[in-house]
Amino acid sequence: WQTPREQTQLAQSRMMQLSKQIEQYDQRLQRLQQEQITLNDNLLLNDLEDLRVDYEIAQQTHYATEQQLTQLKQTAQTQQQHVQDLEKTLADARLKAQQLQGKLASLEALQQAGLGKDHLNDQDREQWQAWGWDQQTRLGELIKLYETSEHSLTPNHRWQTAIEHLLEQDLQALCFNDFDEQIDKFSDYSQHLRAFECLISPDNHSQYQPHNQVHPNHPMSDQPIFHQPLADKIQSPLGLKIAVASIYCVDNLEQAIRHRHDLNTGQFFLTIDGVCVGKTWLRTPTKNSVHEGVLARQQQLQTVQASFQQQQQHLAALENRLQQAQTTWQTQQNEQTVLTQEYQQQQTELHELNAHINREQQQYEQTQYRLQQLQEEAETLNEHLENDRMDYADEQRLYEQASTELTIQTQQREQLEAQRNTLQQQLQTQRQTTKDCQSHWQALRLDCESTRQQHIHSQQTLQRLQEQLIDQQAHYEQLLEEQLSLDDTALESLHAQHQQLLQTHLVYEQQLKLAQNDQQALDKAIQANEKARHEAEQQANQWRDQIETQKLQWQESQVRATTLREQFQETGFDFEAIQANFSADVDIAQQEVALKNVQQRIQRLGSINLAAIDEYQETLERKHYLDEQNNDLETALATLESVIQTMDKETRGRFKSTFESINTQLRANFPKLFGGGEAYLALTEQDLLNTGVSIMARPPGKKIASIQLLSGGEKALTAVALVFAIFSLNPAPFCMLDEVDAPLDEANVGRFCQLVREMSQHVQFIFITHNKVTMELAENLIGVTMRESGVSRLVSVDLTEAVQVLEKG
């Protein structure tokens, strides 16, 4: 609830606030309209559409290129896989060819040994080479074995061992077609020939003819029954077929012995084990002959040669296919590279175009959004402006109504002040009456208290007399008893005492009656006083209640008057001026309706944030706290920057001094190790905190260059010079060198040892070396050996003790 004065002040303040707010809304609305005009001028939708069309075209081109690149990559990957498969196949083929070649070489070497091609000395080999005999075919290379079956030929290797044992050295025989040209050479060279060393045949590869057909050169038509000639099982030069025409094949020795009587002169049987059985003789084969396996090896050699040639052809075809596949793959790689560059360029252009479209789209959307915001804000401002104008009119009416009500309340206040003065006079009268009643009541209370004290005293006296009476009666009875036992004199004396006591008793009874009468009178007086006191108290309570009621009414009127006075003073209006303009015919009901309307409008405004002041205070305190923290951080940052600057300055100084000291020592160590030349450290930048350090060296007889351009030994010596320079600046307890002298020659090793000897005065060196000169420098020598694989052992040698032992020896 608000007083009219508060309503007047609130309405006046609200009117001023609404007036300023209306003016601000007008200005804001004008700025929004101007900004809308500017944004509409800058809104270009056609450019954005053109950019989108260009982007779609570029995207389609990029997609086509991507599809083409993907297809090309797949083709290249397939081709690469094909190349890898061909390379693997080619590697397998080469491995197989190498295996066949190795096997062929091994077989050829064994075959040459079996055919006797390596038994010649140097003189005979030269003679054979001059005659062309070294390239001539041997008999063992021409023999092939077959089995006849219904006029057909089938390879049969069962009789290879038997023929090898039969012919033995004859397998090494040379085969010629030009006997007349070679016959003269036999006479001069016959002392060097073995049996069948030379076999002359006009036909080296005569075809097989079945044994039942008479050959014109066949020396024999009479043969053992059911036995096949050896000549029918071989394909060889004709001369050999004639030579073995008298030899017949049997499966085992028992069969040969059983049928040997069927043989003619010059004929004999050959078993499958190589045993020869004549009619009157038997010869067993030589064991472990060098000619064993010649025929089988020859056949295997021919098979391997055919496989090797076939593998060589397959290898050539694979190499040709691989070269074509690699060429195709390289072409695809080049096309892929070009297409990838084109794809990347299109992708870059597409990204740039997309970014441009996004920027334009974003700018367009921002402009559209801003225009929408401006439109909404303008509508909101118009609505607020209309509402504020209506509120201003309402507030103006409320101000007039509150002023009228304030005048009425002023008159009511004057009336209340008059009533208050009347009530104050009545209150004073009541207070005086109450004060008189209180005095009378106090006097009655004192009289009552005095009467009560007298009553108590009378009761005490009465009680004391009753006690004395009881004592006298007891004494009287005692005397009566004693009288019965005494004589007459004593009885008379007792009788006199008894009379005396009776009189005393009567006196006491009279006093008691008087006291009882006084007590009754006092009781009546107390009761009357109590009744009067009770009536006075009731009257006092009534007057007290009336006084309290009047006091409360007066206080309420006083508070109401004070409140009205303060409210009117808060309005800032002149009471006399308002009272002069106040009309007496104001409708109170109309003012009450207007008051209710104002109250409803106040309720529609919603609750006021009463804690805003406290929140502002808390926010202000938070700001002060953050300001203090910011000041502390700025102070700490300044301190930190100062410390960093100090550290940077100290670091620069220490780095410069350390760099100069190491550089000076490096300049001194380098000539000692190289026997001349110079080396120094160089900074890569001017800033000492960010610079790098490079080592420049010039060995004797060379130009100065970076350490990367030196040889291995020069790098090692330069590194040793730098390490020793660092150790001279800050010596460590020990230094370990791991085969530093490995790339050095004897002269450099000597200078290295001399520098180590000088540095050993300050630093203990532990070095690993294989150089004897360096070992001689050591005081304690520890050797590491590996007598067994994976097992190392230490061998310690004390050089001082060894020298002492040598001196004693």
User: Bigger pLDDT: 134 or 596?
Assistant: 596
pLDDT(348) > 70: yes
Q: What is the pLDDT of residue 518?
A: 72
**Residue tagged 């009789």 (tokens):** 159
Mean pLDDT across 458-463: 73
- Average pLDDT in the 100-105 region? 76
pLDDT, average across residues 210-227 = 41
- pLDDT in the model for residue 31: 79
Mean pLDDT (the chain) is 73
Q: Worst-scoring range by mean pLDDT, 296-305, 312-321, 746-755?
A: 296-305
Residue 285, SS3 per DSSP? coil
Q: Would you tell me the crossing angle of helices 160-167 and 294-484 to the nearest 10 degrees? A: 130
Confidence of residue 149 (pLDDT cuts 50, 70, 90): very low
- Predicted local distance difference test score (pLDDT) of residue 238: 46
In this structure, how many other beta carbons lie within 10 angstroms of the beta carbon of residue 337?
A: 10
pLDDT at 584 over 70: no
| Better-predicted residue by pLDDT, 241 or 580 | 580
pLDDT band at 141 (very low <50, low <70, confident <90, very high): low
Give the residue, 230 or 483, on which the prediction is more confident: 230
Domain ranges of the chain: 138-292, 610-730
Which residue type is seen at 292?
E
CA distance linking residue 230 with residue 291, whole number of Å: 19
CB 228 within 8 A of CB 211: yes
Mean pLDDT over 165-190 rounds to 56
Give the DSSP letter of residue 171. G
Q: SS3 for 235?
A: strand
pLDDT at residue 509 is higher than 80: no
Q: What pLDDT is attached to residue 130?
A: 58
For residues 517-525, give the mean pLDDT. 73
pLDDT, position 346 = 79
Residue 204 — very low, low, confident or very high, per pLDDT cuts 50/70/90? very low
Q: How confident is the model at residue 385 (pLDDT cuts 50, 70, 90)?
A: confident
Mean pLDDT of 721-733: 84
Mean pLDDT of 412-419: 73
Helix ranges restricted to H, 572-607: 575-581, 588-604
Q: State the pLDDT confidence band at 151, using cuts at 50, 70 and 90.
A: very low
Can you tell me the distance from the alpha carbon of 767 to that of 737, in angstroms, rounded to the nearest whole number? 4
- Taking the CB of residue 439, how many other CB atoms lie within 10 A of it? 10
What are the CB-based long-range contacts (under 8 Å, 24+) for 432-435? 433/543, 434/540, 434/543, 434/544, 434/547
Length of the chain: 809
Higher pLDDT, 427 or 321: 321
More confident residue, 625 or 465: 625
Q: What is the mean pLDDT of residues 430-450?
A: 70
Q: What percentage of residues in the chain have a pLDDT greater than 70?
A: 67
Q: Dump pLDDT digits (tens) for 661-713.
A: 999 999 998 888 888 889 988 888 888 888 888 888 888 888 877 888 888 88
Indicate the CATH number for domain 610-730: 3.40.50.300
Lowest mean pLDDT among 81-90, 191-200, 395-404, 513-522: 191-200
pLDDT band at 602 (very low <50, low <70, confident <90, very high): confident
**In the predicted model, is pLDDT for residue 322 greater than 60?**
yes
The pLDDT confidence band at residue 28, using thresholds 50, 70 and 90, is confident
Contact 576, 456 (CB under 8 A): no
Q: 651 pLDDT exceeds 80?
A: yes
Task: Assign 309 a pLDDT band (cuts: 50, 70, 90).
Answer: confident
Which of the two residues, 486 and 213, has the higher pLDDT score?
A: 486
Average pLDDT on 370-390 reads 77
| Alpha-carbon dihedral angle through residues 528, 532, 534, 540, given to the nearest 10 degrees | -170
* pLDDT of res. 171: 54
CA-to-CA separations, 550 to 177, 389, 563, 568, in angstroms, rounded: 174, 50, 20, 27
C-alpha closest to that of 740 among 776, 769, 718 = 769
Q: Please tell me whether residue 550 adopts helix, strand or coil conformation.
A: helix
- Give the mean model confidence (pLDDT) for residues 369-395: 77
The answer to which of 60-64, 122-126, 745-749 has the lowest mean pLDDT is 122-126
